[in-house]
């Protein structure tokens, strides 16, 4: 299984795709996945977020209060804010914060950025606790997506 790395610097093209003024929190995880060029950013996002399961839904909907709406035009309830052939931005809001997640492809490199802006001062405390779970879950979701899409590419 390829290594998933939490990057310290977020490239400008991913920050631009994130389209959020004055974010309070940004992280970026990357993985080199040989099957990445044959998959769309949307396919990666759908596969990765499907692995979040009930735990992800509890974190997103209950802890963070994100308004996620099931729809054919959404991914796991997250609204598709914008997309190009190389990236897709998912968006969700709550009374507490605004969240954007960008899945970006660059050759065999898949990067996922989480961009958060606090809408209330209390959000900093809530996200500081939730981000501990997030930073552990994101590598799991990416490794699961790589494994699942690798299986699919062999058949």
Structure confidence by residue, pLDDT tens digits, 38-84:
889 999 999 999 888 888 888 899 999 999 988 888 998 999 999 99
Euclidean distance between CA atoms 143 and 140, whole angstroms: 5
What's the predicted TM-score (pTM) here?
Answer: 0.92
Instruction: Quote the pLDDT of residue 154.
Output: 42
Structure confidence by residue, pLDDT tens digits, 2-41:
678 888 888 888 998 999 999 999 999 999 877 666 889 9
In-domain check, residue 88:
yes
Euclidean distance between CA atoms 137 and 155, whole angstroms: 28
In-domain check, residue 45:
yes
In-domain check, residue 17:
yes
Residue range(s) defining the domain that contains residue 63: 4-144
The CA R_g of the chain, rounded to the nearest whole Å, is 15
- CATH number assigned to the domain comprising residue 29: 3.30.530
In-domain check, residue 57:
yes
In-domain check, residue 73:
yes
Are 104 and 98 within 8 A, CB to CB?
A: no
Domain count, the chain: 1
In-domain check, residue 98:
yes
In-domain check, residue 80:
yes
In-domain check, residue 153:
no
Closest-CA residue to 41 (of 78, 11, 3, 85) = 85
């Amino acid at each position: 299984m390829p290594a998933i790395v939490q990057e310290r610097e977020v490239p400008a093209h991913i920050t631009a795709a994130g389209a959020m003024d004055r974010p309070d929190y940004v992280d970026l995880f990357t993985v080199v996945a040989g099957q990445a060029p044959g998959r769309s950013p949307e396919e990666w996002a759908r596969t990765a977020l499907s692995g979040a399961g009930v735990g992800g839904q509890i974190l997103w909907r209950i802890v963070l209060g994100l308004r996620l709406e099931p729809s054919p035009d959404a991914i796991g309830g997250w609204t598709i804010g914008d997309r190009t052939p190389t990236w897709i931005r998912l968006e969700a809001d709550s009374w507490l914060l605004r969240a954007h997640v960008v899945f970006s492809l660059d050759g065999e490199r898949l990067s996922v950025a989480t961009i958060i802006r606090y809408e209330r001062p209390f959000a900093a405390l809530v996200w500081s606790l939730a981000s501990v779970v997030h930073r552990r879950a994101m590598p799991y979701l990416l490794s699961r997506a790589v494994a699942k899409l690798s299986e699919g590419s062999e058949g």
